[in-house]
Amino acid sequence: MSEVRHVLVLPDRDAAEEVAEALGERFGLDEEPRLVRDALAGEDDAEDAQWLVVLRDDDGRLDAGALDEFVAEWEGWREDP
């Protein structure tokens, strides 16, 4: 089975940590999401970094639309694969 991932983009670390915690409660995840700092090209300032929450969804049970609505509550978005 192919590996499926969802990448949620958040404006800051606090939002990413909140989303990662709330995802488990809202969607009943089997695995803890990964947090990844994504520095914007050419930016040295840590304030200019986005944070990514990476979710594995190997069985394809997470609904992309539901994730879009969920992450929008933190002014984030879901990257299309």
Q: Annotate 37-76 with DSSP letters as a single string.
A: EEEPTT---GGGEEEEEEEE-TT--S-HHHHHHHHHTTT-
- Whole-model pTM: value is 0.85
In the structure, what pLDDT confidence band is assigned to residue 51 with cuts at 50, 70 and 90? Answer: very high
pLDDT tens digits along 18-47? 999 999 899 988 889 999 998 765 555 555
Contact 3, 58 (CB under 8 A): yes
Domain ranges of the chain: 5-79
Considering the four listed CATH numbers 1.20.1630.10, 2.60.120.10, 3.20.10.10, 3.30.70.3450, the one that applies to the domain covering 5-79 is 3.30.70.3450
